[in-house]
């Protein structure tokens, strides 16, 4: 099931405005150059920020996401016409022979069963050329990042052109390791509408992720830190065996 923040059109349209600093994408762009990738698969591409960025650089990009509302936002961006958009997930991909698959924004944590995660890894493995790389991030559970997901620490008011002021905050709902659930609340000043988005993430240990990659036919080449969030996340660099 797609979270409301991505799947409800009114929320998908304000997603970028509520998170305008996408410095987290810079090291993914750098890795496209590092690995000499010319064909990139963006899994869970959302509103298409990274996909359109890479398309502007002349990279052949395929963006896949199960949230149609987010894809509609993505398709309205500059350079979107250079991206191949697919409504679906990694298990529904056609043969792509991609050089590199990326999964940003901690998308790896939305798969809440071993079966769903394994199926996703198999789909990505099949979409890569032999030796192609798969790079993604996931939060380090030891850092207990969810302790910052409170209204006091996340409350904000954003003035969005064409929309008006939107109040927004996050409430921690439940911590039941390895699962953490939280709720985003959005109050639209223009008409007083209140929309919420519930999410649950799986905080996997580094060893669990490495074992799952190996079981799916990947070699774990490196585990890095996210440059913009040092010490908080694992960035896995793997390759199709």
pLDDT of residue 114: 97
The helix/strand count (H/E) of the chain reads as 9, 11
**4-140+204-240 CATH fold:** Rossmann fold (3.40.50)
Summarised one tens digit per residue, pLDDT across range 213-225 is: 999 999 999 999 9
Torsion region of 137: left, alpha or beta (phi above 0 gives left; psi -120 to 50 gives alpha): beta
pLDDT of residue 222: 98
- Report the C-alpha gap between 134 and 132 in whole angstroms: 7
Extents of the domains making up the chain: 4-140+204-240, 143-201
Length of the chain: 241
**Under-50 pLDDT residues of the chain:** none
Indicate the helix (H) or strand (E) that contains 111. none
The tokens of 89 are what?
């997930």
Location of structure tokens 């409430």: 171
β-pair type (98-103, 128-139): parallel
CA atoms within 13 A on the CB side of 209: 28
- Report the C-alpha gap between 63 and 51 in whole angstroms: 6
DSSP structure string for 67-89: -HHHHHHHHTSTTGGGEEEEES-
Question: Are 118 and 216 within 8 A, CB to CB?
Answer: yes
Q: Work out the burial of residue 92: count CB atoms within 10 Å of its CB; fewer than 13 is exposed, 13-18 middle, 19 or more buried.
A: exposed
Torsion sign, CA atoms 135, 219, 234, 229:
negative
pLDDT of residue 141: 98
The tokens of 236 are what?
């896995």
pLDDT of residue 220: 98
Angstrom CA distances, 116 to 62, 89, 109, 121, stand at 21, 11, 11, 9
Which residues share a beta bridge with 181?
174, 200
Torsion sign, CA atoms 161, 69, 82, 65:
positive
pLDDT of residue 23: 83
CA atoms within 13 A on the CB side of 168: 17
pLDDT of residue 96: 96
């Amino acid at each position: 099931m797609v979270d409301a923040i991505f799947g409800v059109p009114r929320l998908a349209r304000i997603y970028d405005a509520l998170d305008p600093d996408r410095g987290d994408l810079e090291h993914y762009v750098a890795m496209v150059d590092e690995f000499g990738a010319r064909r990139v698969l963006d899994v869970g591409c959302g509103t298409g920020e990274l996909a359109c960025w890479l398309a502007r650089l002349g990279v052949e990009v395929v963006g896949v996401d199960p949230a149609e509302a987010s894809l509609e936002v993505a398709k309205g961006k500059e350079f979107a016409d250079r991206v191949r958009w697919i409504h679906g997930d990694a298990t529904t991909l056609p043969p792509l022979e991609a050089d590199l698959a990326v999964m940003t924004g901690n998308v790896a944590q939305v798969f809440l069963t071993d079966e769903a995660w394994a199926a996703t890894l198999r789909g990505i493995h099949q979409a890569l050329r032999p030796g192609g790389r798969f790079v993604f991030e996931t939060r380090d559970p030891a850092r207990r990042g969810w302790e910052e997901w409170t209204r006091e620490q996340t409350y904000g008011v954003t003035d969005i052109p064409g929309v008006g002021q939107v109040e927004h905050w996050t409430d921690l709902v439940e911590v039941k390791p390895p699962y953490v659930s939280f709720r985003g609340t959005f109050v639209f000043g223009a008409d007083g509408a209140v929309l919420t988005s519930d999410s649950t993430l799986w905080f996997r240990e580094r060893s669990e992720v490495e074992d799952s990659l190996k079981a799916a036919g990947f070699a774990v080449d490196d585990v890095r830190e996210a440059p913009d969030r040092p010490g908080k996340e694992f960035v896995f660099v793997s390759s199709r065996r």
